[in-house]
């Protein structure tokens, strides 16, 4: 699989439930970032977790990082219809002038 | 809050024509990027730019592509002779310390 593979590819849940998305990567990283993309729109930065961090919270978002397994998860609690979007993880290998390597994304649908 | 802006939002062009996509990065950022996303696919890195020169480019970024920072604010991507397969959403990004902030994208359609 390629660096930055998310699973599941698609997820549908009822409003109010929690949504968990996973991401795997292959190489060592400096940090991992999660982005949201509404259909056909731009990428909105959600949260960044550094390689020396294991868990991070921001509002209803919780991100974990397991560098031994080269994986990360994004949890959205108490989902809302407005959370419907595609979610991508993106790995940054080093700080500075370095490209982000994006995963294939999870398409999340929140059912009202 | 500062943001990255891109123009135009949509561009339709004929195959073989030149297009220039424009971006205004966040003003105090030093690193700039172009990515593209073909419909339904993942976001792919094209090129990174620092200190007025390309620092890394992908295999996609061939001789038909060029980037420029003509003044202190704009950052442009030029495709010299567009192909059908260049149809995609093109995103500009700029980076401060750790986070890359993306513009809203330019949707390019090559006919």
pLDDT digits 0-9 by tens, B21-66? 999 999 889 899 999 999 888 899 999 999 889 999 999 999 999 9
Percentages (nearest 5) of helix, strand, coil residues in chain A: 5, 55, 40
Residue B101, domain member (yes or no): no
Tokens coding B17: 């024509």
Q: What are the residue ranges of helices labelled H in chain A?
A: none
Per-residue confidence (pLDDT) for residue A45, from 0 to 100: 93
Between residues B90 and A103, which one has the greater pLDDT? B90
Of the pLDDT bands very low, low, confident and very high (cuts 50, 70, 90), residue A95 is low
Specify the CATH number for the domain of residue B64: 2.60.40.10
Which of A89, A64, A88, A62 is closest to A77 using CA atoms? A62
Which of A65, A57, A61 is closest to A78 using CA atoms? A61
Q: What is the Cα–Cα distance from A72 to A88, expressed in whole angstroms? A: 11
Full residue range of the structural domain in which residue B26 is found? 5-96
pLDDT surpasses 60 at A3? no
Specify the CATH number for the domain of residue A98: 2.60.40.10
Full residue range of the structural domain in which residue A100 is found? 5-111
Domain count, chain A: 1
Domain count, chain B: 1
**What residues contact residue B12 under an 8 Å CB cut-off, 6+ apart?**
B109, B111
Asked whether the beta carbons of residue A35 and residue B102 sit closer than 8 angstroms, the reply is yes
Residue B74, domain member (yes or no): yes
pLDDT surpasses 60 at A27? yes
Residue B111, domain member (yes or no): no
- Which residues of chain B does A43 touch, with a Cβ-Cβ cutoff of 8 Å? 43, 91, 102
- The mean of the pLDDT values for chain B is 93
Of the pLDDT bands very low, low, confident and very high (cuts 50, 70, 90), residue B101 is very high
Distance from CA of B41 to the nearest CA of A (A): 7
Note whether A88 contacts B: Cβ–Cβ < 8 A: yes
Q: Collapse the DSSP code of B12 into the 3-class scheme (helix H, G, I; strand E, B; otherwise coil) and give the result.
A: strand
Least CB-CB distance to B99: which of A33, A42, A105?
Answer: A33
Which of B43, B61, B25, B99 is closest to A41 using CA atoms? B43
Q: Could you read off the pLDDT of A69-88 as tens digits, one per residue?
A: 999 999 999 999 999 999 99
Residue B108, domain member (yes or no): no
């Amino acid at each position: 699989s390629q660096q930055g593979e998310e699973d599941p590819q698609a997820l549908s849940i009822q409003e109010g439930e929690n949504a968990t998305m996973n991401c795997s990567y292959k190489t060592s990283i400096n940090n991992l970032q999660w982005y949201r993309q509404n259909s056909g729109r731009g990428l909105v930065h959600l949260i960044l977790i550094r390689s020396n961090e294991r868990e991070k919270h921001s509002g209803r978002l919780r991100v974990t990082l397991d560098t031994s397994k080269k994986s990360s998860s994004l949890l959205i609690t108490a989902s809302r219809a407005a959370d419907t979007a595609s979610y991508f993880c993106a790995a940054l290998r080093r700080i500075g002038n370095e490209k982000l390597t994006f995963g294939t994304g999870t398409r999340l649908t929140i059912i009202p | 809050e500062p943001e990255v802006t891109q123009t135009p939002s949509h561009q339709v062009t004929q195959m073989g024509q030149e297009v220039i996509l424009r971006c205004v990065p966040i003003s105090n950022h030093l690193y700039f990027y172009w990515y593209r996303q073909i419909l339904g696919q993942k976001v792919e890195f094209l090129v990174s730019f620092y200190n007025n020169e390309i620092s890394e480019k992908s295999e996609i970024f061939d001789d038909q592509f060029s980037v420029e920072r003509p003044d202190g604010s704009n950052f442009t991507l030029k495709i010299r002779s567009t192909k059908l397969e260049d149809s995609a959403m093109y995103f500009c990004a700029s980076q401060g310390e750790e986070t890359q902030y993306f513009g809203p994208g330019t949707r390019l359609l090559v006919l």
